[in-house]
Amino acid sequence: MLGVIVFAHGSRDPLWRQPVEAVARCIAQADPQARVACAYLELSEPDLPSAAAALIAGGATHLRVLPLFFGMGKHAREDLPVLMQQLAGQHPGVHCECLPTAGEDQRLVELLAQIALEKTPA
């Protein structure tokens, strides 16, 4: 069973989480069989290990992490690979996969360009 973790930086502001949680809801609606959770690097809960453990306890045998980072900065380049190695070590029977950062997906880049060029009602 697939478990998807929408992974973002985190913030003390609870409103900051809304778009992250919206992505998770869309994933769950698109695939009701998948288990979906949000996780945060810092300043918010749950963290990645906690979210992964909850999904695995719920039956997930394949974890896919979607990093909602637009750039390939230190968190995506250094912190996330370490966290993924730790997950794999803690859950050897579970396939752990990390997708490219959101900003590395050309479809997202093109969508943002379309949004910028759309005419808005006056």
**Nearest residue to 17 (alpha-carbon basis) of 8, 25, 27:** 8
> What's the chain's length in residues?
122
User: Could you tell me if 3 and 55 are in contact, meaning their C-beta atoms sit under 8 angstroms apart?
Assistant: yes
Instruction: Say what angle helices 80-90 and 48-57 make with each other, to 10 degrees.
Output: 30
Q: Is 3:62 a contact under the CB 8 Å cutoff?
A: yes
91 a catalytic residue: no
- Among 9, 75, 91, 95, the active-site one is 9
From the number of C-beta atoms within 10 Å of its C-beta (0-12, 13-18, 19+), residue 79 rates as middle
Catalytic residue set = 9
